[in-house]
Amino acid sequence: MIIILFLCFFNNISSVLIKTKTTIIIKKGKIIMKKLTLALSAIAAAFSASAHADISVSGSANVAYLSTAASTDAEKLAVGSIASFALSTTTDTGLGISASLALSKDYDNDASTAVDGGNAVTFTTGGTSIVVGDVGVNDTIGSIGGVVNGPLDDTSGVSSNVATGFGAAADDDGLGVSFSTAMGAATLSIDYIANTAANNYGVLNPDSGESAMGASISVPMGAYTVTVGVADNDNGSSAAGGTIAAALGGGTLTVGYSNQTIDSGDHASLSTTGDTTSAGATYSMSLDADTTVAVGYLSNKDADSDSASKMELSIERALGGGASVYLDMVNLSGDAATDGTALGFGTAVSF
Amino acid sequence: MFKFIRILLILSVSLFIFQSCSKGPLGGDHAANMAKLDKLYGKCKNPHRKIVGKDRRMLCEDKQRAVGPGGKEKPPLTIANLAKNFSREGGVINYQGMAINPFLWQASLELLDEYPLRIVDSQGGVISTDWITESTSPNQRCNVKITIKSQELVSNGVKVKLICQQKTDDAWYNDNSTYANEEKDLTLKVLKIANQIKAQDQLS
């Protein structure tokens, strides 16, 4: 990493030298007017010395009424807020470095106050972004259909029996490196988690722990954007899938397919090692400059032959000043510990 | 599969080492690509962002909801700016209700100080000189138009346009030439002066 950053600095220094040389050539060339020439004469390399560091503060708050799918005590009121501190700087050579952490009161837990983030540092240039620290791999890549955000997404109460992902919640994120770069109009991301049990400090490739990797690429192809990816955990689980997105009828249609090979020993709701397949679609469109409506559908089937279908609907309206109101709905049917319909409406405010 | 991805990662990092930091291995603008994917999938569901942590996801979703389908994200409150606003006396004039960067604006005025100005619109961020003619080139005249496009002091926050005319048979005609290099140089000059003003402002 240090070598990469050194070369990055070196490359930028080279480009500053080239710019200076170009400026000299321009000065030697024909310049249309004398006074403008004088104005230009002090053009400078000092422009590159525009380094700055900053801390910005932003936050959000949520208030939501939820009618969950739970069989008892289904009605809930969820209130939470978060304050986030973003730390950033830009070096003289244009390398961006940033980190963030947040203080939060979760809307779905009555006693939780947490400090989140601070586990990763991001290095950014015009062509590449590298995150070091707590990074994630997409263990259900191609599995889409979720359009509901916020409180109802986290506490709808519906619970499917279908096994998805790499098993434990921590198996798809941990201490590692995430690399994302442009390749022409395409975007390539490669993620490597050296220790899924740690976030900001830990053993690299522990003897008794797990590591994971993932890669994905998004390529625009005419009116379509195709994203394909793979992910792998050394517990024996892996995933592959893709999505195709396109503008359609004033909105955006996305369809996706995912195949996840899951080891039953790592997944509480699976008794047979085998494949889970997911197929889904979302459609999102703007009704006006402030209102968005989105619908999603996802169908899953796992190696135990459990299958379930989920449908989601979300309507959001921005009110200005950072405030918005929303109405969400989630419906789950099939093999499920809890199926049914959950509804939620509320307001989210971004400060 | 695991080994294959690991090799892919090593290859990618190797490509990164041998490429310029301002471009991807095969060219392309990463930030621009990500902006397109954000628009398509939504920023919080962009498959290349992988937002880790519930709080960061929640913050992202709330911001996205707040701006609506086509809106712009509200810039966060900056502690440095906050402190500066409390401590500032004199320094850069902060034009009332100004929607553009005051350093870029003041730098543009300073650059064109010697020339007669025809348009000075501090709200729209537009300055245009009158026709400038030199005694050494009586048959050529030019005007300079500077547009400030950003509230931030960023390199793409200022645009300079140079229009020149030639006199033929007592009538002025556009010379239909492009002055990309001169426009670029003037842009750099504005940015340099703006950075100097900002540095002085921070010292005061």
Sign of CA dihedral B17, A215, B61, B33: positive
Q: Which residue of B has its CA nearest to A51?
A: B195
Query: Strand A173-183 relative to strand A159-160: parallel, antiparallel, unpaired?
Result: unpaired
Query: In this complex, do A32 and B54 lie within 8 Å of one another by their Cβ atoms?
Result: no
CB atoms within 10 A of CB A41: 12
Catalogue all structural domains in chain B, each as residue range(s) with its CATH number: 2-67 (no CATH), 102-203 (3.30.530)
What would the pLDDT profile of B62-90 be if each residue is shown by its tens digit? 888 888 776 655 555 555 555 555 444 44
What would the pLDDT profile of B97-126 be if each residue is shown by its tens digit? 567 888 898 899 888 888 888 888 877 888
List of chain A residues whose C-beta atoms are within 8 Å of the C-beta of residue B28: 127, 182-186
- Digits of tens for pLDDT over chain A (351 positions)? 444 444 444 444 444 443 444 343 334 333 344 444 434 333 333 333 344 578 888 899 999 999 999 989 999 999 999 999 999 888 877 788 999 989 999 888 888 788 888 899 999 887 789 999 999 999 899 999 999 988 999 889 999 999 998 876 667 889 999 999 988 889 999 999 999 899 999 888 888 888 999 999 999 998 899 999 999 988 888 999 999 999 888 889 999 999 999 988 878 878 888 999 999 999 999 888 788 999 999 999 999 999 999 999 999 998 877 889 999 999 999 999 899 999 999 999 988
Q: Enter the tokens of residue A65.
A: 């009424």
Q: Enter the tokens of residue A326.
A: 């929303």
What would the pLDDT profile of B20-62 be if each residue is shown by its tens digit? 455 555 677 888 888 888 888 888 888 888 787 778 888 888 8
* Burial class of residue A323 (count of CB atoms within 10 Å of its CB; 0-12, 13-18, 19+): middle
Q: Which residue of B has its CA nearest to A146?
A: B45
CB A188 within 8 A of CB B12: yes
Of the residues B30, B51, B84, the best mutation for testing chain A's interface (the one with the most A CB atoms within 10 Å of its CB) is B30
- Rounded Cα gap, residues B79 and B57, in angstroms: 23
CB atoms within 10 A of CB A97: 15
As a whole number, the mean pLDDT across chain B is 76
CB A266 within 8 A of CB A248: no
- Residue A169's pLDDT is 62
- Residue B96's pLDDT is 47
- Residue A216's pLDDT is 95
**Would you give the end-to-end CA distance of chain B in angstroms?**
59
List of chain B residues whose C-beta atoms are within 8 Å of the C-beta of residue A50: 153, 191, 195
Query: In this complex, do A213 and B6 lie within 8 Å of one another by their Cβ atoms?
Result: yes
Total CB pairs under 8 A between chain A and B: 310
Locate the DSSP E strands across A35-169: 52-67, 75-90, 96-105, 113-117, 120-124, 128-136, 159-160
List of chain B residues whose C-beta atoms are within 8 Å of the C-beta of residue A114: 55
Percent of chain B with pLDDT over 90: 7
List of chain B residues whose C-beta atoms are within 8 Å of the C-beta of residue A29: 181
- Residue A1's pLDDT is 44
